[in-house]
Chain A
Amino acid sequence: MTIKTMTMPQLGESVTEGTISQWLIKAGDKIEQYQPVLEVMTDKVNAEVPALYSGTIVKLLAEEDETVNVGTPIFEIKVDSGHTEDHDHEVDVQEHDRAKKSQTQKSESMKQRYSPAVLTLAQEHQIDLSKLRGTGLAGRITRKDVLNYLNNENNQVVESIENESIIQAKTTQQPVPPVAVNREIPVTGIRKAIATNMVRAKTEIPHAWMMIEVDVTNLVAYRNAEKDKFREEEGYNLSYFAFFLNAVAKALKEFPELNSSWQDDKIIQHKEINLSIAVGNETELYVPVIHNVDEKSIKGIAKSVHQLAHKAKHNQLTQADMEGGTFTVNNTGTFGSVQSMGVINYPQAAILQVESIVKKPVIINDMFAARDMVNLCLSLDHRILDGVICGRFMSHVKNILENISGDTTPIY
């Protein structure tokens, strides 16, 4: 009969301590080998610890709820005779296992040390590096591992990465030329945010839609007369969009109902007129905000649009640039659209789409005239707004735009 001391086992590679959540035995109990003796909670796992020996518990050395370091003695057991040698062997095996474990742990120490080349490739190809197995020093993922992964990506199911034998086969294989299959693009970052917002807006908001046609011949003439001089003096374009934003801001002042948002069964009417404008680059869409548009001149608005578009193009938009919008104006005309149904920028009440300006034959005083026409499309949250108020708002915008001239709308 010998008395053995059992210690707190290591319940995970990086675990250094464990909290005894419950003793399943008490002093004097007779236990069998592998019988659970205590429950241990670590920051990684919650586990039952089995007995390594059959015998009688002599003494518990730690209390429930006590946190003890790995390797600290936790109880003593009087081992049944005849098994002793076996058990010594057991200990050896266990220690051997532990040594092996710590060795593998050591050899994986570089697994999450990524070189600039690896990070660059991972970013370019949207690779989740945790799915790769490194062949470099101490498990480091090398640039070549990533390249091999990319080469094999189309032929290998991602889950199979977990399978070691396949991995080993892979690394010794010649890179397989990629087969022409559909490209999978993981949805992350901005694209994911756009998706979430769109689904939310489209499912939560009952959208209604209307469109009016506006004669902007005067605006076109006015802007064309001023644009070259403006560009020369200010260094950026005098865009039509600035005039539209100006008109919308004036109309919102008149019809504050549209400058509002739905918030938990309340409608908040905003005092400030902050217009969100949609600007995109090749792959992403941003909706930065121009604050207090009603207080800005045409020049001021054009400048803000120019600055935000520049920032969006160079990925320099900050969170502050995106916040506080109360109504959205979308310049869909820039890509040739003549009619579109915008999705409301949640939780705003409406979105106005400015379509392409198109020269059209129009009847004025029973005679045909060539006029510059533009469609304005409004999507509205029917919980907040109705057709009547929106119709009036749109008519007001139309009225402002059709009467634009140097007198009504000075640029400076």
Chain B
Amino acid sequence: MSVLSYIEAIQLAMKEEMERDEKVFILGEDVGKRGGVFRATDGLYEQFGEKRVIDTPLAESAIVGVGIGAAMYGMIPIAEIQFADFILPAVNQIISEAAKLRYRSNNDWSSPITIRAPYGGGVHGALYHSQSMEAIFANQPGLKIVMPSSPRDAKGLLKAAIRDPDPVLFFEHKRAYRLLKEEVPETDELIPIGKANLVREGSDITVISYGLMLHYVKEIANELATEKEIDVHVLDLRTVYPLDQAAIIQAAKQTGKVLLVTEDNKEGSIISEVSAIIAEHCLFDLDAPIQRLAGPDVPAMPYAPTLEKEFMVNKDKIKQAMIDLALF
């Protein structure tokens, strides 16, 4: 075992998968010689050559479209969208083609593509380098959306995504890239897609989240355990679409007090769906109104540091929300 950062874990997952199966290849902007703007594909061009690590033009629709075509012919593409904010030109390819291909062709064709994209704010990225895009794709059956919250999860989930026979959107928090470090097993660990992860068991409140926010939740849960004797039950969604309903229901019933946290704008977010699942199944187990902590419903993350701080869900806000719910 060695300590890896979140981005190193992602790089290693791709490297191992490319070594395992020569059908796996990468395409995207600056992924080749440059090794990716965040260095996610660092060294892969050198190791696997220009035919398996392909620099593309600045055209997201083409990156995904070419990937889908290659996937239909038996290749296993990993398409990188440089920032999740720029995935929108590829939405038609992702939703209309990749997600529906197997269904539309009556199982004759499929599209085992993995689309990686860095998302999230708090990095002074302003409007076009800070957004959370998962909710846009989260009602498209045929698509899976994975959002890891730790280096170990990132590696295991990315490897599972690459081997998944259908399209997977893989959102990586760009602030997590170098912020999060942990021991990652050197084994070929696969973490199942579609299953949530019970991170911490507790009896006072249940917090459900994903991505970078989950990391914050974990840290605060530890703080609260020692500072205030608040015992927090934490569930990491890992896959935000389709949701692991059974795990969500079980976690909600555990304490009857549920806080849902996302960095995305509140209305219509992933956690709104989580809230609906709990409302449908857990009425008689609820001890408090389901709480959602999310970004405000304004168009995008501002650039000014003060406003960015105001917009961004941070540890202080999460902590306060958790204490409030525990005291309710």
Taking the complex as formed, is A291 at the interface, i.e. its CB lies under 8 A from any CB of chain B?
no
Taking the complex as formed, is A144 at the interface, i.e. its CB lies under 8 A from any CB of chain B?
yes
Interface pair B256/A115, CB less than 8 Å apart: yes
Interface pair A118/B327, CB less than 8 Å apart: no
A116–B255 CA distance with the chains assembled, in angstroms: 12
**Which B positions have Cβ atoms within 8 angstroms of A?**
203-204, 255-257, 283-288, 327-328
A117–B287 CA distance with the chains assembled, in angstroms: 5
Taking the complex as formed, is A256 at the interface, i.e. its CB lies under 8 A from any CB of chain B?
no
- Chain A 332-360 against B: per-residue CB contact (8 Å), 1 yes, 0 no? 00000000000000000000000000000
Quick one: given A143-B256, A144-B203, A144-B204, are A137 and B328 in contact (CB under 8 Å)? yes
Interface pair B327/A143, CB less than 8 Å apart: no
Give the residues from 88 to 123 in chain A that come closer than 8 angstroms, CB to CB, to chain B: 115-120
Taking the complex as formed, is A54 at the interface, i.e. its CB lies under 8 A from any CB of chain B?
no
A21–B288 CA distance with the chains assembled, in angstroms: 46
A117–B289 CA distance with the chains assembled, in angstroms: 11
Interface pair B256/A117, CB less than 8 Å apart: yes
| B interface secondary structure, majority | loop
Interface pair A142/B286, CB less than 8 Å apart: no
Q: What chain A residues lie within 8 Å of B203 (beta carbons)?
A: 144
Query: In the complex, what's the smallest C-beta–C-beta distance from B257 to chain A, in angstroms?
Result: 8
Interface pair A116/B283, CB less than 8 Å apart: yes
| A interface secondary structure, majority | helix
Given contacts A115-B287, A140-B328, 16 further A-B contacts (CB under 8 A): A116-B284, A116-B285, A116-B286, A117-B286, A118-B287, A119-B284, A120-B285, A136-B327, A136-B328, A137-B327, A142-B287, A143-B256, A143-B257, A143-B287, A144-B255, A144-B287
A119–B286 CA distance with the chains assembled, in angstroms: 10
**Closest chain A residue to B283 by CB distance?**
A116
Q: What chain A residues lie within 8 Å of B288 (beta carbons)?
A: 115
A140–B283 CA distance with the chains assembled, in angstroms: 18
A118–B284 CA distance with the chains assembled, in angstroms: 8
In this complex, the member of B203, B204, B256 whose beta carbon has the largest number of chain A beta carbons within 10 angstroms is B256
A120–B282 CA distance with the chains assembled, in angstroms: 11
Task: List the 10 shortest-distance A-B pairs measured between CB atoms, nearest first.
Answer: A143-B287, A117-B256, A117-B287, A115-B287, A120-B284, A143-B256, A116-B284, A137-B328, A117-B285, A116-B286
Interface pair A143/B284, CB less than 8 Å apart: no
Q: What chain B residues lie within 8 Å of A116 (beta carbons)?
A: 283-287
Q: What chain B residues lie within 8 Å of A115 (beta carbons)?
A: 256, 286-288
